[in-house]
Amino acid sequence: MGLPRQQIRTIMCSVTNSVRLNATKKMCESIGINTVSYDTVKVWFGKFKAGNFDIDDEPCSGRPIEVDCEQLKQIIDQDRNVSTRTIALELDVCQQTIVNALKCINPMFKFNRWVPHELTAEDKRKRKEGSAQRSKERENSGQNCDL
């Protein structure tokens, strides 16, 4: 197992007086083959030469990788037919981030709609009423399934 990045960068910082190619070769010989590439040494030597001795990674720009689950839940509650792509555009995140975040609120996409995975008491009551109403309508129209 190789050294962590911070330790490798610390070693690079200590050998900044040497030539980049020689530093790369020495590090690969002493620590292990392919521990660090010449391009990596070149980038870090440039940073050290400019006076930046911070060995931690800088924060990357781009879309956030996390999304607020409550905000996501509100969007789905407002429009059950919304797609993950539309939500991603609205929240300015990647579509896969939305897909991953949906696992935490646990809805299911059925019949082109987002539905809660577990039914609440209100949902069960509505289903029961709807089923009874459809059953009554079938009886009144004469479309009985009894043969």
The CATH number covering residue 98 comes to 1.10.10
Q: Please state the domain count of the chain.
A: 2
Q: Are 32 and 24 in contact (CB under 8 A)?
A: no
Would you say residue 126 lies in a domain? no
Would you say residue 116 lies in a domain? no
CB atoms within 10 A of CB 11: 17
Is 76 found in the same domain as 44? no
Is 73 found in the same domain as 42? no
Would you say residue 58 lies in a domain? no
Per-residue pLDDT of the chain (147 residues; tens, 9 = 90+): 467 777 777 777 667 666 777 777 777 777 777 778 888 888 878 887 888 777 777 776 666 667 888 888 888 888 888 888 999 999 888 888 888 888 877 776 666 666 666 777 888 899 899 999 988 888 887 665 555
Q: Which residues pair with 109 in a beta bridge?
A: 114
Would you say residue 78 lies in a domain? yes
Residue the block writes with tokens 């010989």: 29
**Which residues form the domain of 39?**
5-50
Strand 107-110 and strand 113-116: pairing?
antiparallel
Which two structure tokens, joined as six digits, stand for 31?
């620590």
Q: Which class for 31: exposed (0-12), middle (13-18), buried (19 or more C-beta within 10 A)?
A: middle
Would you say residue 77 lies in a domain? yes
Q: Which residues contact 82 (CB under 8 A, 6 or more apart)?
A: 75, 76, 114
Would you say residue 140 lies in a domain? no
**pTM for the full model?**
0.38
Would you say residue 146 lies in a domain? no
The single-letter DSSP state of residue 81 is T
Q: What is the pLDDT of residue 62?
A: 64
Would you say residue 76 lies in a domain? yes
